[in-house]
Chain A
Amino acid sequence: MRQSRASRWLLRALKLSLGLLVLVTAAGCHTDMWIQPKTVPLEESTFYADKSSARPLVPGTVARGHLEEDTPFFTGRDDNGQLVTAIPVKFNSDKEFKEFLLRGQERFNIYCTPCHGRLGDGQGMISKRGLALRRPPANYHTDRLRNMPIGHFYDVMTKGYGVMFSYASRVEPQDRWAIAAYIRALQLSQHADSADYTAAQRASRQSTGSLGTETQ
């Protein structure tokens, strides 16, 4: 008799703990870890009136490290407002400068080629597609742009020019200078004279027959 009462209690306790277990497990079924009340970039906000979780800077704010005191570097113009004629970046070695040019090539191919083309002749895909462009993208291989101070290219990328938008928010200042340097390299390559080649280069080019196509 006592035993059976004990077993009945045991059964009841088992049932109860099973029910509790189900309850406890079910309590885990919620999504607040999946969808946490934090904002991630570009997320819509329910808090701010303009629904943007990213807040615009208070006017006049200067972020740490963005004081931009170096006027030529950040504007492409010297203190008198004249376009600079040399890249305001220091290079400690030729290797560093080559890296800089390669970086410029890479950035140019990303941001500039859609309009200006890989050669900088203004024959990018957009100009080919936009048959009736009122103002076609610039061809860098003109006397006007060949004689333009290098600060001009930086200035154009920063502020935009004609129908070209500003690329300041997409390309960082250092990269804009790298692109400007690469544009100069493109201009030289498309305006090269056979006298610019070393004897060895000339020999190897002549044997492949590619010298003529690069001399204009």
Chain B
Amino acid sequence: MAQLFKPYANVIARTSIVIGGMLPVIVGLAAAAYSRSPYNTKVEVPLNQPIPFSHQHHAYELGIDCRYCHTSVEKSGYAGLPPTETCMSCHSQIWTNSPLLEPVRKSYEDNTPIQWNKVNTLPSFVNFNHSIHIARGINCNQCHGPVNDMQITFKGHPFMMQWCLQCHRAPEKYLYKDPDSHSLREQVFNVYWKLQEKGVSGMTPREQHLVKGEEQEEDGAKDVAEGKALVKQYGVKVQQLADCSVCHY
């Protein structure tokens, strides 16, 4: 009777044991990689919109303040999207024949809102409030990425809970103080005026991080010590900041 198993069967058996053992790990890692990839999170993936609105053009090139359109960002949980009336404040006078702006004019005439596609979404069980972050001087780009550089708006950060907690657990690494602003609220928007006046190269390293929307965690002991002083000065309640009920209520 011939041999039922050839010698190479040993190799197959060993490899399948190894692969079989590793399979759950590989599947787990693949799932983790997928869920963090831009394919899933949509980070830095520009989203098509009914009108190709450019933040770079309006906010950086023309120097229009964020709050001209996002009027409620300082006093409400929601930053607010501008009504068509806000667009028409200028576009009833300039670019009045542009075919790109046809949906704006149509919306204004028909009294129907423009249906923008939502770039940043949160699950319903998370409550995020813009006004408190602005009131503590947290810059827009810190969460939204380099909005002043975006031709078509994209998501700057994945908004995963872990990401929120980085700052909520150690706010001293992220808090910032602009000596030229008379209020914390004002320093948020002064960064963009400074960008207009001095350009990126004329700004401090911290401000450059801010306008580029980069991760700006400060690790140096000196920075952390300064940050801790700011935490105290701003009255940030670190003990409660990472409590479940701060965001989930």
Q: Which residues of A contact B (CB under 8 A)?
A: 33-36, 38, 40-42, 44, 52, 102, 106, 109-111, 113-115, 125-126, 129-130, 133, 163-165, 169-170
Contacts and interface: CB of A to CB of B under 8 A. Distances in A.
6 contacts: A33-B125, A42-B78, A114-B90, A125-B63, A126-B93, A165-B89
Contact of B115 (A35, A44, A115, A130): A44
A129 B62 contact: yes
B94 A52 contact: no
Size bracket of the B interface: 20 to 34
A142 B37 CA distance: 59
A169 B83 CA distance: 10
Contacts of B186: 106
Contact of B71 (A115, A125, A133, A170): A170
Contacts of A169: 83, 85
Given A40-B78, A41-B78, A52-B113, A130 B86 contact: no
Interface in B184-231: 186
Nearest to A135: B93
Contact of B62 (A52, A106, A114): A114
Contacts of A36: 124-125
Q: Which residue, B85, B88, B90, B115, has most C-beta atoms of chain A within 10 A?
A: B90
Contacts of B124: 33-36, 38, 40
B221 to A, nearest CB: 36
B182 interface: yes
Contacts of B67: 110
A36 B93 CA distance: 41
Interface string B66-95: 011001000000101101011011101110
Nearest to B78: A41
* Among all A-B residue pairs, the 8 with the closest Cβ atoms: A36-B124, A130-B94, A110-B65, A34-B123, A165-B89, A41-B78, A125-B62, A110-B67
B85 A165 contact: yes
Nearest to A32: B124
Contacts of A115: 90
B93 A34 contact: no
Q: Which residue, A40, A125, A165, A170, has most C-beta atoms of chain B within 10 A?
A: A170
A109 B65 contact: yes
Contact of A111 (B68, B81, B94, B182): B68
Contacts of B115: 44
A114 B68 contact: yes
B111 to A, nearest CB: 9
A134 to B, nearest CB: 8
B64 A114 contact: yes
A34 B80 contact: no
A164 B123 CA distance: 39
A163 B71 CA distance: 21
Given A44-B115, A52-B113, 11 more contacts: A33-B125, A35-B124, A36-B124, A41-B78, A41-B80, A42-B78, A113-B63, A125-B64, A126-B94, A165-B85, A170-B71
Contacts of B85: 165, 169
A106 B83 CA distance: 22
A52 B111 CA distance: 12
Contacts of B93: 126, 130, 133, 163
A126 B90 contact: yes
A106 B78 CA distance: 21
Contacts of B81: 42
Contact of B68 (A102, A110, A130): A110
Contacts of A165: 85, 88-89, 92
Contacts of A102: 182
Contacts of A41: 78, 80
Interface string B121-144: 001110000000000000000000
Interface string B87-127: 01110111000000000000000000101000000011100
B73 to A, nearest CB: 11
A109 B80 CA distance: 19
Nearest to A131: B94
Contacts of A126: 62, 90, 93-94
Nearest to B69: A170
B39 to A, nearest CB: 19
